[in-house]
């Protein structure tokens, strides 16, 4: 008798990118800046979440809008990593983001195009897959492309809820605001800056907790996870607010920390862990990601090791 395996976690990326990273000694204007150690990675919020879930041992399917020669390159990069990717074709060329690390200062210079415009009809396959997919978790992550209606994530959330799936959102601006106003989410993960943009004002540490709790109290989301960089992270739920300090590691690049956090948290939830356990694993994954250069994401052994160390340190501090 065969045991039915759970369906993969579905991720949606409406504005993906081919992420190119390299380094040089010094960035100067006018002159040619020769770069080395060039690296190509498949990028975009949902794609990165799928990569992290896969790296941790889970199963994910990444649906993404893409077009042109760069869209084909993006597909090949995903295939090379063993990610189950599904290209939803658009007319425009998939964007290329470029990062250069300056060795003399350690600074990173990021160039991120806004991406190609899309037609509403080009989004329909993504709505269809959210409605029909068998997975119990749907993650929509990343910015809205030009031309996408602001309620597209809200529509996905409602379709997922109709079939009993848990919808998770990591976006900003109008995509975040409209979705929180028009639908009910299982989990939303803004950064501190994105939360401040949503509420329309700067927030101190106590204000971040209150704003996250207000979202839970409104019924817009069951869980609200706020990533705050060196200040750690915060999880708000009906149980209250849980704060977790950042894990101190040698930082090589801040790129991918938020996606690593979310990917690890979703994977842990899908494995049956509590929201609090999943949240702490997400913090460990974010720390593991910043240890890597450029667009490289977290690795399983580092995530589990940092999580175990943090848990041990927490237990020791409680028994003193």
Write the pLDDT tens digit of every residue in 134-160. Answer: 999 999 999 999 999 999 999 999 999
Residue 282 sits at φ, ψ, to 5 deg, of -60, -40
pLDDT at residue number 320: 32
Q: What is the arithmetic mean of pLDDT over 4-10?
A: 80
Q: Which two tokens stand for residue 285?
A: 């994954």
> Rounded distance, CA 249 to CA 270, Å?
27
pLDDT at residue number 7: 85
Residue 243 sits at φ, ψ, to 5 deg, of -110, 140
CA distances (Å), 53 to each of 107, 140, 298, 299, in order?
A: 29, 14, 10, 10
- Scored b (16 or more CB within 10 A) or e, 240-271 reads ebbebebbeeebbbebbbbbbbbbbbbbbbbe
> Rounded distance, CA 122 to CA 227, Å?
32
pLDDT band at 309; cut points 50, 70, 90: confident
Please tell me whether residue 15 adopts helix, strand or coil conformation: coil
pLDDT at residue number 253: 75
pLDDT over 90 (residue 121): yes
For all residues of the chain together, what is the average pLDDT?
92
pLDDT over 70 (residue 182): yes
Residue 109 sits at φ, ψ, to 5 deg, of -115, 120
pLDDT at residue number 304: 87
Residue carrying structure tokens 């060795």 = 103
pLDDT over 50 (residue 1): no
Please tell me the pTM assigned to this model: 0.92
pLDDT at residue number 25: 97
pLDDT at residue number 312: 74
Respond yes or no: is residue 170 known to be catalytic: no
pLDDT band at 6; cut points 50, 70, 90: confident
pLDDT over 90 (residue 62): yes
Residue 188 sits at φ, ψ, to 5 deg, of -130, 140
Q: What is the pLDDT of residues 195-253, one digit of tens each?
A: 999 999 999 999 999 999 999 999 999 999 999 988 999 999 999 999 999 888 887 87
pLDDT band at 2; cut points 50, 70, 90: very low
Measured in Å, how far apart are the chain's first and last C-alpha atoms? 51
pLDDT over 50 (residue 187): yes
pLDDT over 70 (residue 294): no
Q: What is the arithmetic mean of pLDDT over 59-73?
A: 97
**Selection from 262, 268, 216 nearest residue 237 by Cα:** 216
Q: Do 262 and 189 contact (CB within 8 A), yes or no?
A: yes
Handedness of CA 168, 289, 281, 47 (dihedral sign): positive
pLDDT over 70 (residue 317): no
Q: What is the arithmetic mean of pLDDT over 267-293?
A: 92
pLDDT at residue number 112: 94
State what percent of residues in the chain have pLDDT above 90: 83
19, 41, 170, 259: the catalytic one is 259
pLDDT over 80 (residue 4): no
Q: Do 30 and 238 contact (CB within 8 A), yes or no?
A: no
Choice among 97-106, 161-170, 235-244, 306-315 with the minimum mean pLDDT: 306-315
């Amino acid at each position: 008798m065969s045991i039915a395996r759970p369906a993969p976690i579905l991720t949606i990326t409406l504005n993906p990118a081919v992420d190119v990273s390299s380094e040089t000694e010094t960035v100067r204007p006018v002159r040619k800046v020769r770069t080395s150690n060039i690296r190509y990675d498949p990028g975009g919020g949902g794609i990165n979440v799928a990569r992290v879930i896969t790296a941790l041992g889970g199963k994910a399917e990444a649906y993404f809008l893409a077009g042109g020669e760069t869209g084909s390159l993006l597909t090949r990069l995903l295939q090379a990593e063993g990610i189950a990717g599904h290209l939803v074709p658009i007319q425009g060329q998939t964007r290329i983001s470029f990062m250069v690390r300056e060795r003399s200062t350690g600074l990173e210079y990021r160039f991120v195009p806004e991406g190609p415009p899309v037609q509403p009809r080009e989004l329909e396959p993504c709505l269809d897959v959210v409605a029909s997919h068998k997975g119990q978790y749907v993650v929509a992550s990343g910015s809205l492309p030009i031309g996408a209606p602001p309620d597209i994530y809200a529509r996905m959330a409602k379709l997922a809820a109709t079939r009993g799936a848990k919808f998770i959102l990591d976006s900003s601006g109008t995509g975040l605001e409209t979705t929180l106003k028009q639908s009910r989410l299982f989990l939303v993960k803004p950064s501190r800056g994105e939360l401040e943009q949503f509420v329309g004002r700067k927030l101190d540490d106590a204000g971040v907790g209150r704003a996250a709790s207000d979202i839970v109290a409104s019924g817009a989301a069951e869980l609200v996870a706020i990533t705050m960089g060196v200040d750690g992270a915060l999880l708000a739920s009906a149980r209250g607010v849980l704060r977790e300090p950042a894990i101190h590691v040698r930082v090589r690049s801040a790129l991918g920390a938020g996606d690593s956090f979310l990917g690890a948290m979703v994977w842990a939830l899908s494995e049956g862990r509590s929201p609090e356990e999943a949240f702490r694993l997400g913090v460990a994954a974010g720390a593991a990601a910043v240890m890597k250069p450029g667009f490289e994401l977290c690795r399983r052994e580092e995530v589990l090791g940092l999580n175990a160390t943090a848990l041990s340190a927490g237990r020791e501090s409680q028994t003193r």
